[in-house]
Amino acid sequence: MSILAKKRGLSALALAAVLGLGAAPVAMAQEKVSTVVNTMQIFSSLDPAKVTDYTGYMAVVNMYDGLTTVAPSGEIVPHLATSWDISEDGLTYTFHLRDDVTFQDGSALSASDAVWSIQRLLKINKGPSNLLVDLIDPANVTAPDATTVEIKLNRPFSPFLASTPILLVLNQKLVEANATADDTLGEAYVGDNSVGSGPYSLVSYNRSADMVIERNPDYFLGWDKGTPIDEVRFVQTSDDATVRALAEKGELGLSSHGLGNDTFESIGNMPGYKLLQTRTAGGFQIKLNTKVYPTDDVHVRRAIAYATDYETIQEIIYPGVPMHGPLSDTFETAFNTEIPTGVYDLEKAKEELALSKYAGEDITLVNSYVASLAFEQEVALLMQANLAQIGITLDIRPEPWNRIVELASNPDTTPASTQVNVSPSYPSPDSMFFNQYHSKASGTWWSMEWLQDPEIDALIDQSRAQTDPAEINATYKELQQSIYDLQPAVWAVAPMRRYAANACLQGYEFRPMQSWDLNFWNFTWECPSN
Amino acid sequence: MAEVKMALDGANKDLSASYMMWYRFSRNPAAVIGTLIVLSAVIFAILAPYITPKPEDVGAVVNFRARHLPPDATHWFGTDKVGRDIFSRAVFGLRISLLLVIGVLGISVPIGTVLGLAAGYFGGWTERIITGLTNVMLAMPPLVMALAVSNLLQPTLMNAMIAITLLWWTWHARLIYAVSKSVASEDFIEAARIAGAGPMHILFREILPNCVSVISVKTTLDAAFVILFGATLSFLGFGVKPPTPDLGSMVADGRQFMPDFWWEVLCPGAVILYVTLGFNLLGDGLRDMFDMEG
Amino acid sequence: MSDALLKVEGLDVLFTSYGQTRQVLRDISFTVGAGERVALIGETGSGKSVTAKAILGTLPRNATVSAGRIEVAGRNVLELPRGERDALKGSAFSLIMQDPLSSFNPVFKIGTHLDDVLRFADRREGVKSSRAERRARIAAVLRRVQLADPDRVMNAYPSELSGGMRQRVLIGLALLHQPKLLIADEPGTALDVTTQDEILNLINTLVAEEGMALLMITHNLGVVRKVADRVVVMRHGDIVEAGPCAKILASPEHEYTIGLLDAVPPLYGPRVQTQQISAQAPIVSATGLGKEFGRHGKRFTAVKDVSIALREGEIFGLAGESGSGKTTVARMMMGLSRPTSGSVSVDGTPNPGRPLAQIVYQNPGTSLNPKRTVKQSLGLPLKYAGLTGGARDARMAELMELVRLPVSYLAKYPHELSGGQKQRVAIARALAADPKVLILDEPTAALDVSVQKTVIELLLQLREELGLTYFMISHDLSLMRNFCSRLAIMLRGEIVEEGATPEIFADPKHPYTRALIAAIPVVTDDEERHKPAVSPEERAAFLVKTTD
Q: Name the DSSP class of A314.
A: I
**Top-ranked range on mean pLDDT: pick from A5-19, A309-323, B137-151:** A309-323
Chain A residues whose CB is inside 8 A of the B256 CB are 239-241, 260, 262-263, 374
B11 occurs within a structural domain: no
The average pLDDT across C243-257 equals 89
B188 closest CB neighbour out of C354, C369, C415:
C369
Mean of pLDDT over chain A? 87
Residue B62 is nearest to which of A260, A374, A382, comparing CB atoms?
A382
Nearest C-alpha neighbor of B175 from the set B223, B125, B124, B222: B222
- Number of structural domains in chain B: 1
Determine B/C contact with 3+ CB pairs under 8 A as the test: yes
B17 to chain C, any CB pair closer than 8 A? The answer is yes
Output the pLDDT for position C275: 58
The pLDDT of B16-44, averaged and rounded, is 85
pLDDT of residue C272: 57
* Distance from C-alpha of B190 to C-alpha of B184, rounded to nearest angstrom: 8
- pLDDT at residue C350, as a whole number: 58
pLDDT digits (tens, 9 = 90+) for B83-92: 899 999 999 9
Q: Name which of A332-341, A349-358, A381-390, C335-344 the model is least confident about.
A: C335-344
Highest mean pLDDT (candidates A123-137, A169-183, C189-203, C261-275): A169-183
Looking at residue B118, its pLDDT comes to 93
Dist. CA C172–CA A374, nearest whole Å: 76
Whether residue B266 is contained in a domain is answered as yes
CA C392 distance to own-chain centroid? 37
Peptide bond before A294: cis, by omega within 30 degrees of 0?
A: yes
- Report the CATH superfamily, name and number, of domain A2-24+31-45+198-279+497-525: Periplasmic binding protein-like II (3.40.190.10)
Report pLDDT for B4.
43
pLDDT, mean over chain C: 84
What is the average per-residue pLDDT within C300-313? 86
Interface of B with A (CB under 8 A): 59-62, 64, 67-68, 81-82, 237, 241-243, 253, 255-258, 260-261
What dihedral angle (degrees, nearest 10) is formed by the CA atoms of A153, A156, A158, A161?
20
Q: What is the pLDDT of residue A17?
A: 42
Residue C32 backbone dihedrals phi, psi, to 5 degrees: -125, 115
Give the B:C interface size as CB pairs under 8 Å: 103
- Side by side, the strands of the sheet bearing A34-39 are A200-206, A210-215, A231-236, A34-39, A252-254, A497-502, A273-278
Is the predicted pLDDT of residue C291 greater than 80, yes or no?
yes
Residue B3: pLDDT band (50, 70, 90) is: very low
Average pLDDT of the residues in A305-334: 90
Chain B residue with minimal CA distance to C46? Answer: B7
pLDDT at residue number C178: 81
Q: What is the pLDDT of residue A15?
A: 42
* Contact at CB, C60 and B187, closer than 8 angstroms: no
Measured between CB atoms, which of A239, A312, A385 is closest to B61?
Answer: A385
**Orientation of helix B208-235 relative to helix B157-184, angle to 10°:** 160
Subunits close to C (at least 3 CB pairs below 8 A): B
Q: Which CATH number fits the domain that encloses residue B33?
A: 1.10.3720.10
Query: Percent of chain B at pLDDT above 70?
Result: 93
Neighbour count for residue A217 (Cβ, 10 Å)? 11
Chain C nearest C-alpha distance from B294 (Å): 18
CA distance C382 to chain B (A): 8
Å between A339 CA and nearest CA of chain B: 28
Determine the distance in angstroms separating the CA of C346 from the nearest CA of chain B, rounded to an integer. 16
Residue B101's domain spans which residues?
Answer: 16-289
Q: By the 8 A CB rule, do B103 and B110 touch?
A: no
Most confidently modeled range among A434-448, B157-171, C108-122: A434-448
Q: What is the pLDDT of residue C96?
A: 84
Nearest to B168 by CA among B214, B98, B111: B111
Give the pLDDT confidence score for residue B270 in this predicted structure.
Answer: 94
Domain-embedded: residue B10: no
Average pLDDT estimate for C447-460: 86
Element (H, E) at A247: helix A240-248
What is the DSSP pairing of strand A136-145 with strand A92-97? Answer: unpaired
Question: What residue of C is the nearest CA neighbor of B182?
Answer: C366
The ipTM is: 0.75
Question: How would you classify the pairing of strands A76-78 and A92-97?
Answer: unpaired
Helices (H), chain B: 2-11, 17-26, 29-46, 48-51, 86-122, 124-138, 142-152, 157-184, 187-195, 199-201, 208-235, 247-255, 263-289
Interface of A with B (CB under 8 A): 239-241, 260, 262-263, 266, 312, 316-317, 371, 374, 377-378, 380-382, 384-385, 387-388, 393-398
Q: What does the pLDDT read at residue C506? A: 85
Look at residue C274 and tell me whether its pLDDT is greater than 60: no
**pLDDT score of A25 more than 50:** no
> Which of B60, B237, B255 is the closest to A371 by Cβ?
B237
Whole-angstrom distance, CA of residue C169 vs CA of residue C135:
14
Radius of gyration of chain B (CA): 23
Rounded mean pLDDT of C177-185? 86
B237 to chain C nearest CA, in Å? Answer: 46
| Residue A269 CB neighbour total at 10 angstroms | 11
* Torsion, CA C259, CA C261, CA C263, CA C267, rounded to 10: -160
Of A262, A263, A384, the CB nearest to B242: A384
Between these two residues, A213 and C351, which has the higher pLDDT value?
A213
Q: Does B243 have pLDDT greater than 60?
A: yes
Angstroms from B237 CA to nearest CA on chain A: 8
Query: Quick check: A27 pLDDT over 70?
Result: no
Q: What is the pLDDT of residue C479?
A: 86
pLDDT of residue C343 exceeding 60: yes
Q: Can you give the pLDDT at residue C1? A: 41
Task: Enter the CATH code of domain A283-495.
Answer: 3.10.105.10
Choice between A23 and C478, residue whose per-residue pLDDT is larger: C478
> What domains lie within chain C, and their CATH numbers?
6-263 (3.40.50.300), 284-507 (3.40.50.300)
Q: pLDDT above 70 covers what percent of chain A?
A: 94
Give residue A5's pLDDT: 38
Which of B14-18, C88-92, C531-535 is most confident?
Answer: C531-535
Q: What is the mean pLDDT of residues C150-164?
A: 85
Q: Which of A10-19, A369-378, A476-485, C472-481 has the lowest mean pLDDT?
A: A10-19
User: Phi, psi at residue C236, to the nearest 5°?
Assistant: 50, 40
- Residue A12, pLDDT > 50, answer no
- In a 13 Å sphere around the CA of B95, the CA atoms on its Cβ side amount to 16
Cross-chain CB nearest to C44 (options B6, B12, B186): B6
Asked if pLDDT for residue A9 goes beyond 70, the answer is: no
Q: Are A473 and A433 in contact (CB under 8 A)?
A: no
| Interface probe, candidates B156, B235, B240, B256, chain A, greatest A C-beta count within 10 A | B256
The verdict on a CB contact (< 8 Å) between C49 and B205 is no
Q: Which of residues 221-260 of B touch C (CB under 8 A)?
A: none
Tell me the mean pLDDT in the region C402-428: 89
Q: Return the axis-axis angle of helices A454-465 and A429-437, rounded to nearest 10°.
A: 150
pLDDT digits (tens, 9 = 90+) for A454-483: 999 999 999 988 878 888 899 999 999 999
For residues B181-209, average pLDDT: 87
**H helix and E strand count, chain A:** 16, 21
Quickly state the pLDDT bin for C349 (edges 50, 70, 90): low
pLDDT score for C296: 63
If one compares B15 and C286, the residue with the highest pLDDT of the two is C286
Task: Answer whether B17 sits within 8 Å of C413, measured CB to CB.
Answer: yes
The string of pLDDT tens digits covering residues B250-261 is 888 888 777 788
Helices vs strands, H then E, count in chain C: 21, 20
Mean pLDDT, all residues of chain B: 84
Taking residues A441-448, report their average pLDDT. 89
More confident residue, B220 or A133: B220
Do C and A touch, 3+ Cβ pairs within 8 Å? The answer is no
Model confidence at C268: pLDDT above 80? no
- Which of B:76-105 have CB within 8 Å of C? none
Interface test with B, best of A312, A318, A384 (most B CBs within 10 A): A384
Domain boundaries, chain A: 2-24+31-45+198-279+497-525, 65-176, 283-495
The hierarchical CATH code for the domain A65-176 is 3.90.76.10
Where does the pLDDT of residue A30 fall: very low under 50, low under 70, confident under 90, or very high at 90 and above? low
> Rounded distance, CA B268 to CA B86, Å?
8
Name which of C24, C53, C384 is nearest B195 (Cβ-Cβ).
C384
User: C507-537: per-residue pLDDT in tens?
Assistant: 888 888 888 888 888 888 888 888 888 877 7
Predicted pLDDT of residue C351: 52
Average pLDDT (A287-309) is 93
